[in-house]
């Protein structure tokens, strides 16, 4: 078999609209996701797909800058590629982990296509045909175009969750908090749990709570069927301290995102469940390696979502399908998007799960018309500041936060 070597790398920023702006502890997703679609072409005519969060024109330049490093590189030589662009000490300077992840996705896609097998077959083989997802509920502003979509009160949250459940079949529900005062978010979370008896729940305020607020919140939800308490406070040391006061499993996607931190949390016992992210960890394969460490050391494994389109979602599906110790419904922002860049549009949920692609490679194909349309939308709208709230100009949080949004105020801010 002749070598399949990289001939070119192309990155295209896209903006894909969300149903409504999603609020989080640092600001908001301003009614859209900005992603970078990466295409790797080989000398023998294969095309592999990758994806990275945000990026815009800077990402286009960053990927173009890696072409001289990787032109002529055999896509099968994945470990060599890691050291060629992502050596751990050089990475202190060049910050390429997420670029590497997108290229790893594309190389795996090409390897699968060349061998005629799905990516999951390259990774040990799937142990499940579908991956279950959580509903991933956000507080939201109404979309300024439609005036619809606000989620601010317990009643709105319960109605939103019911709609998502009816449409997609979710049986596990995550509330993204850290926006309103903890007392209000507690009322919302409890109303949500009461509205869906027998189902599973998780709360994630993105590390915004003080230790005191996290202790009060945690002890007020012990009667709920919680999967875990996700990043209630910032930092491994504080998470470890919280465990002295709250008997809930602690999960993180913020302070264990590499192998150094994984080793540390094995030693200090701060975290019980690690949410693996195929971008943050630098690819699908590092996530599977980390899942193996978690299996050995008795830590739980879940899947983090960094706001994916269908290409990265496919990486999450392949990863989720081969990790035997995946113990929780995965997270995905996916159902908040109004469209995707892949042929056929968004992958469908059935009974709260998405089928793992079985076609060769990642099993998704780029839709050129959609790519062009959403690249044009990126050119028109540009990026958005993830760490700013369009409804509170000039505001930014401290950690822990105390300057919460006012749940009595209904806003529909402009998003451009
Ligand atoms: Mg999280």
Ligand 1 centroid to 118 CA: how many Å?
A: 29
Does the pLDDT at position 114 exceed 90?
yes
Contact, 37 vs 150, CB < 8 A? no
Token digits of residue 54: 């945000």
Ligand 1 centroid to 41 CA: how many Å?
A: 34
Does the pLDDT at position 268 exceed 90?
yes
Distance CA 348, CA 344 (A): 10
Ligand 1 centroid to 179 CA: how many Å?
A: 14
Token digits of residue 176: 């993204």
Ligand 1 centroid to 204 CA: how many Å?
A: 6
Ligand 1 centroid to 225 CA: how many Å?
A: 18
Collapsing DSSP to helix, strand or coil, 221 comes out as coil
Quick check: do 6-120+369-381 and 124-361 share a fold? Answer: no
Q: List, by residue number, the catalytic residues.
A: 176, 304
Give the 3-state secondary structure percentages of the chain, helix then strand then coil, rounded to 5. Answer: 35, 20, 45
Ion ligand 1 — residues with CB under 5 Å? 204, 230, 253
Distance CA 272, CA 269 (A): 7
Ligand 1 centroid to 303 CA: how many Å?
A: 10
How do residues 77-105 score in pLDDT, each as one tens digit? Answer: 999 999 999 998 888 888 899 999 999 99
Give the pLDDT mean for 100-123: 98
Per-residue pLDDT at 95: 83
Domain 6-120+369-381 class in CATH = alpha beta
Distance CA 34, CA 18 (A): 10
Q: If you ran DSSP here, which 8-state letter would residue 169 be given?
A: -
Domain map (residue ranges) of the chain? 6-120+369-381, 124-361
Contact, 100 vs 282, CB < 8 A? yes
For the domain covering 124-361, report its CATH number: 3.20.20.120
How do residues 31-69 score in pLDDT, each as one tens digit? Answer: 999 999 999 999 999 999 999 998 778 899 999 999 999
Collapsing DSSP to helix, strand or coil, 274 comes out as strand
Collapsing DSSP to helix, strand or coil, 110 comes out as helix
How do residues 291-321 score in pLDDT, each as one tens digit? Answer: 999 999 999 999 999 999 999 999 999 999 9
Ligand 1 centroid to 306 CA: how many Å?
A: 9
Distances (CA, A) of 67 to 76, 228, 302: 17, 42, 33
If we measure between CA atoms, which residue out of 410, 20, 402 comes closest to residue 179? 402
């Amino acid at each position: 078999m002749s070598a399949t070597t990289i001939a070119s790398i192309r990155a295209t920023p896209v903006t894909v609209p969300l149903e409504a702006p999603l609020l989080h502890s640092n600001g908001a997703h301003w009614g859209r996701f900005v992603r970078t679609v990466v295409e790797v072409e080989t000398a023998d005519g294969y095309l592999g797909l990758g994806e990275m969060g945000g990026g815009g024109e800077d990402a286009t330049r960053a990927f173009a800058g890696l072409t001289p490093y990787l032109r002529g590189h055999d896509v099968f030589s994945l470990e060599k590629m890691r050291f060629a662009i992502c050596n751990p000490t050089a990475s202190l300077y060049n910050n390429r982990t997420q670029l590497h992840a997108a290229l790893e996705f594309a190389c795996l896609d090409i390897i699968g296509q060349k061998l005629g097998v799905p990516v999951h077959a390259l990774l040990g083989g799937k142990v499940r045909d579908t991956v279950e997802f959580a509903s991933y509920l956000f507080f939201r502003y109404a979309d300024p175009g439609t005036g619809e979509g606000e989620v601010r009160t317990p009643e709105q949250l319960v109605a939103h969750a019911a709609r998502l459940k009816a449409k997609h079949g979710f049986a596990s529900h995550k509330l993204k908090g850290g926006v309103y005062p903890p007392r209000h978010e507690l009322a919302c979370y409890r109303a949500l749990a009461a509205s869906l008896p027998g189902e599973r729940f998780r709360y994630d305020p993105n590390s915004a709570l003080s230790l005191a607020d996290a202790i009060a919140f945690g002890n007020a939800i012990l009667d709920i069927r919680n999967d875990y308490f996700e990043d209630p406070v910032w930092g491994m040391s504080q998470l470890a301290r919280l465990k002295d006061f709250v008997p809930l499993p602690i999960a993180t996607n913020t302070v264990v995102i590499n192998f150094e931190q994984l080793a540390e949390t094995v030693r200090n016992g701060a975290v019980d469940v690690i949410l693996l992210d195929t971008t943050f960890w630098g690819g699908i394969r590092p996530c599977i390696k980390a899942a193996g460490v978690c299996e050995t050391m008795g830590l739980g494994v879940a899947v983090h979502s960094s706001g994916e389109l269908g290409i990265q979602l496919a990486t999450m599906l392949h990863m989720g399908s081969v990790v035997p110790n995946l113990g929780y419904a995965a997270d995905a922002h996916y159902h908040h998007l109004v469209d995707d860049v892949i042929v056929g549009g968004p992958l469908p949920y059935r009974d709260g799960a998405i089928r793992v692609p079985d076609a060769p490679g990642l099993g998704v194909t780029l839709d050129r018309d959609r790519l062009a349309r959403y690249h044009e939308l990126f050119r028109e709208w540009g990026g958005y500041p993830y760490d700013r709230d369009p409804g509170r100009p000039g505001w930014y949080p401290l950690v822990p936060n105390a300057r919460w949004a006012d749940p009595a105020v209904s806003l529909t801010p402009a998003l451009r």
